[in-house]
Amino acid sequence: MSSQDWFAAIQLPVQGWSDHLVMWLAQNWRPAFQAIRGPLVAAIEGLSGLLAVAPPPLVLVLLFLLAWQIGSLRSAVVSTLLMFAVGMIGVWTDAMRTLALVLVAVGLCMVLGFPLGILAARSERLERGLKPLLDLMQTLPAFVYLVPIVLLFGIGDLSGVLVTAVFAVPPLIRLTSLGIRGVPPPMIEAAVALGATPWQVLRKVSLPMALPAILTGINQTIMMALAMVTYASMIGVGGLGQLVLRGIGRLDMGLAMVGGAGIVALAVVLTDLVQPRGTVPGVRPPPRSTPIGLVRAALRRLRPAVPAPGAQPAGQLSD
């Protein structure tokens, strides 16, 4: 008797259940899926179109200023040089498309992950209920996500964004909950004693104290989203993942290498914008050392001094 025969009488039809569930969702929840489809498709097409028509020098300048404002001059130079190298190896257009898809996917993760993480931090029951689900989402092979998403939404960029969001959202939920739970109770008690409402406690005490953990969660979400780019290319998603997939299919080492190098460059730049190297997460650099601070200081120097009302002009004595 084979090992399969031992379980023949008690075998569970999980495959059939899964097929029926997906078909039931496709038939009965189509209006809900269409409502989700519209805004996401508009966001993907709008951001992709904007990055596609933007001149590369303008994008590099804006990246330099943004990285300098958030982090430091050194990180701004490194990020700009990395993106300049992306253009030099000939994958700028694909990198911009991948960047648009990743930004939309991470934005969707933040919309879903922040509220769930906050609620999980406040509710032990929800935390226990989410834990096995998040474990399943992180351990389930990425290819398994592709089939139901394609059946419900079809192939294309939208399905790639949704697959990426499902795959990448668990770290954000976990670390948001962990960061809020790690806020010292005396600080919460002091805020409540001073008359703060629950919303004020969350906004002015819990979230600022949990910001390093939340930024780490966003960092991990970005990394997992970029890791999903190659898998998503199997359902018609373009960009750098498509280059890697074509390189693997043709055994073209050069094509796969430039696609992978572009993904690595985007990962370094995006994670450096979220958590600048050499700085404490959530701590801003001195205002005067940033572009906005320098502009404000220059404007203050150029602004003429206005004498106070009743003050005597310089060089004149009062009677």
- pLDDT tens digits, one per residue of 181-234: 888 888 888 888 888 888 888 888 888 888 889 999 999 999 989 888 878 888
Predicted confidence (pLDDT) at residue 308 exceeds the cutoff of 60: no
Predicted confidence (pLDDT) at residue 317 exceeds the cutoff of 70: no
**pLDDT for 62:** 92
**pLDDT for 172:** 92
**pLDDT for 61:** 93
**pLDDT for 288:** 52
| Phi, psi (degrees; rounded to nearest 5) at 168 | -100, -10
Of residues 251 and 3, more confidence is placed in 251
Q: What is the pTM of this model?
A: 0.82
Read off the pLDDT of each residue in 11-39 and give the average, rounded to a whole number. Answer: 77
The tokens 């991948």 sit on which residue?
98
**Which of 99-108, 209-218, 240-249, 306-315 has the lowest average pLDDT?**
306-315
63-77 pLDDT, tens digit each:
999 888 887 888 889
**pLDDT for 306:** 52
Read off the pLDDT of each residue in 263-272 and give the average, rounded to a whole number. Answer: 90
9/30 Cα distance (integer angstroms): 37
Beta strands in 236-303 (DSSP E): none
Predicted confidence (pLDDT) at residue 305 exceeds the cutoff of 60: no
**pLDDT for 279:** 46
Residue 182 Rama label (left phi>0; alpha psi -120 to 50; beta): alpha
Predicted confidence (pLDDT) at residue 293 exceeds the cutoff of 90: no
> Cβ(262)–Cβ(82) under 8 Å?
no
| Phi, psi (degrees; rounded to nearest 5) at 60 | -65, -40
272-291 pLDDT, tens digit each:
888 755 444 444 555 556 77
**pLDDT for 176:** 92
243/262 Cα distance (integer angstroms): 10
Predicted confidence (pLDDT) at residue 312 exceeds the cutoff of 90: no
Predicted confidence (pLDDT) at residue 304 exceeds the cutoff of 90: no
Of residues 127 and 308, more confidence is placed in 127
**pLDDT for 272:** 86
185/290 Cα distance (integer angstroms): 35
**Which of 18-27, 154-163, 180-189 has the lowest average pLDDT?**
18-27
**pLDDT for 266:** 92
Please report which confidence band the pLDDT of residue 299 belongs to, taking 50, 70 and 90 as the band edges. confident
**pLDDT for 195:** 85
82-125 pLDDT, tens digit each:
999 999 998 999 999 999 999 999 999 999 999 999 999 988 89
Question: Residue 100 is inside which H or E element, if any?
Answer: helix 92-122
Average pLDDT in the chain: 82
Q: Is 89 helix (H, G, I), strand (E, B) or coil?
A: coil
Please report which confidence band the pLDDT of residue 313 belongs to, taking 50, 70 and 90 as the band edges. low
Domains and CATH numbers, the chain: 43-291 (1.10.3720.10)
